């Protein structure tokens, strides 16, 4: 693609996936702008683990050392019964030998902040809620709530599970009678989650945060339909998540209707506090003042506005693109966080899409259509596999018989079998084909993606 034929990309949504796509397009010298409906970035969320699936691309972008600085190196996940009786810890150290990278606990706000720093300020626009999207043979335009119009060649919907871009695209397809029935169904969830992170703590009062290796505790309710987790962070804080396993599957629309009908399942500012009250006495394996800490201790150490409650939707949509519009991350696949693949899958989407846009012959509508179909063909199977894995892992915490069997195997499998599972996890470590390739690390050779190979071939030819 010549310099004059590079498409202008309008990215809607400044979450992890949208920002990472912007960071990649910045390196690829492809023009783009990011539009975010929120006026300010609030430090919401808990922590996540970042490992070999993402660290190679971080190294390519020059942010690997920054990630290490904001992360806490982790070697094990420790699981406990509600009574604090421990299970055998799960050992993640083989990652180093298999893939050449370790595993880090990183708070979601810090990771978001790191990605945001990769975007020049003039290329991201806050307070821009997309109202309508219109397209023709030569371009696409978005109208935002402040009555401004922005034109480009492609719109990327990276605006989350309840994507306005997806809804606009689906309206067009619905009118044509070509949208699959499954894409019309509500986003289902069978679990809600409370997330937060304490303020920075005094290491003399809370000595656990002084440990150089990150601590990751998961506790499974025995008599109560809850699972809760706590993490130590590099910011001297404790991040946490509390899952409430619902007795039946529901949806946001059903919950809102329940609120209108007088049900207690409403979604307003008080629901997080209600869940805090319900779970205050849940213990965690951290000692302070001669006693075990509780979740209530963590809530009291967290500014109230930084505790949030969310529904954990689970769905993979069939339709990812139409015309000049394409979806990314939660907008086309929403995964349960128990599998640890939500952010990873969104970032892998961004890598594949950036590689494909880089290698696209022109910005003509036929070439855009072909590029989007290549993107969907590459990423849909991976998203489906991640979705199925996350559903399997979520059974561990739903107190079912199948979940009990899976959890027993998870905490008792021999190391040789565990290593086989880890090999599968580290096979796919994608890179940007338009940046200098990294030397392979670890004993497991990564599987190159078609988009990376195409971009690499073009990059080397231009070099």
Domain with residue 341: its CATH number is: 3.50.50.60
Q: Is the pLDDT of residue 261 over 50?
A: no
pLDDT digits 0-9 by tens, 120-178: 999 999 999 999 999 988 999 999 999 999 999 999 999 999 999 999 999 999 999 99
Would 260 be classed as within a structural domain?
no
- At 304-319, the pLDDT tens digits run 999 999 888 899 999 9
HEC profile for 116-145? HCCCCHHHEEECCCEEEEEECCCCEEEEEC
Residue 341 lies in a domain: yes
Query: By percentage, how much of the chain surpasses pLDDT 70?
Result: 92
pLDDT in tens, 434-455: 999 999 999 999 998 999 999 9
pTM of the model: 0.94
- How many CB atoms neighbour CB 456 within 10 A? 20
In a domain, 268, yes or no: no
Predicted pLDDT of residue 3: 53
CA distance 405 to 395: 10
Nearest Cα to 187, choosing from 331, 315, 309, 310? 315
Does residue 197 lie within any of the structural domains? Answer: no
Residue 423 lies in a domain: yes
Indicate if the pLDDT at residue 262 is higher than 80.
no
Tracing tokens 């969104």 back to the chain, one arrives at 346
> How many domains does the chain divide into?
1
Q: Is the pLDDT of residue 217 over 90?
A: yes
Tokens read off for 107: 């708070």
Does the residue 325 lie in any domain? yes
Task: Compute the distance between CA of residue 413 and CA of residue 432 in angstroms, rounded to an integer.
Answer: 35
Q: Which of 220, 225, 9 is nearest to 119 (CA)?
A: 9
Domain region containing 429: 3-42+109-184+316-462
Provide the β-strand partners of residue 245.
191
């Amino acid at each position: 693609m010549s310099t004059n034929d590079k498409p202008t990309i309008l990215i809607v949504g400044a979450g992890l996936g949208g920002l990472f796509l912007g960071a990649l397009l910045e390196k690829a010298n492809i023009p783009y702008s990011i539009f975010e409906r929120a006026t300010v970035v609030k430090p919401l969320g808990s922590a996540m683990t970042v490992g070999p699936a993402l660290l190679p691309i971080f190294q390519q972008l020059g942010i690997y050392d920054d990630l290490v600085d904001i992360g806490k190196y982790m070697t094990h996940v420790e699981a406990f019964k509600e009574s604090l009786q421990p299970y055998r810890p799960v050992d993640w150290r083989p990652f180093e030998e298999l893939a050449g990278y370790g595993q880090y606990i990183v708070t979601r706000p810090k990771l978001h902040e790191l990605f945001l720093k990769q975007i020049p300020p003039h290329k991201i626009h806050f307070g821009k809620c997309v109202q309508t999207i219109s397209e023709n043979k030569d371009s696409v335009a978005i109208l935002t709530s402040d009555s401004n119009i922005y034109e480009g060649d492609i719109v990327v919907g990276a605006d989350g599970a309840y994507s306005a871009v997806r809804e606009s695209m689906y309206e067009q397809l619905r009118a044509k009678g070509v949208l699959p029935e499954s894409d019309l169904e509500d986003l289902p969830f069978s679990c809600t989650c409370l997330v937060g992170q304490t303020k920075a703590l005094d290491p003399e009062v809370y000595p656990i945060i002084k440990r150089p290796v990150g601590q990751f505790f998961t506790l499974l309710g025995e008599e109560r339909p809850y699972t809760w987790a706590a993490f130590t962070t590099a910011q001297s804080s404790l991040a946490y998540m509390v899952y409430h396993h619902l007795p039946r599957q529901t949806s946001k629309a059903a919950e809102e209707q329940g609120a209108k009908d007088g049900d207690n399942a409403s979604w307003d500012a008080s629901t997080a506090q209600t869940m805090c009250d319900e779970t205050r006495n849940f213990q965690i394996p951290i000692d302070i003042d001669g006693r075990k800490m509780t979740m209530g201790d963590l809530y009291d150490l967290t500014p109230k506005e930084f505790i949030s409650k969310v529904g954990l939707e689970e769905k993979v949509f069939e339709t990812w693109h139409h015309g000049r519009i394409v979806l990314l991350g939660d907008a086309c696949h929403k995964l349960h966080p128990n599998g640890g693949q939500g952010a990873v899958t969104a970032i892998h989407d961004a890598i594949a899409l950036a590689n494909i846009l880089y290698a696209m012959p022109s910005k003509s509508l036929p070439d855009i259509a072909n590029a989007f179909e290549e993107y969907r063909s590459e990423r849909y199977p991976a998203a489906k596999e991640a979705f199925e894995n996350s559903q399997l892992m979520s059974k561990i915490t739903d107190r079912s018989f199948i979940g009990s069997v899976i959890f027993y195997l998870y905490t008792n499998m021999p190391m040789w079998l565990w290593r086989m599972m880890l090999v599968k996890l580290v096979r796919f470590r994608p890179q940007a084909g338009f940046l200098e390739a990294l030397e392979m690390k670890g004993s497991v050779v990564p599987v190159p993606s078609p988009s990376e190979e195409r971009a690499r071939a073009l990059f080397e030819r231009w070099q």
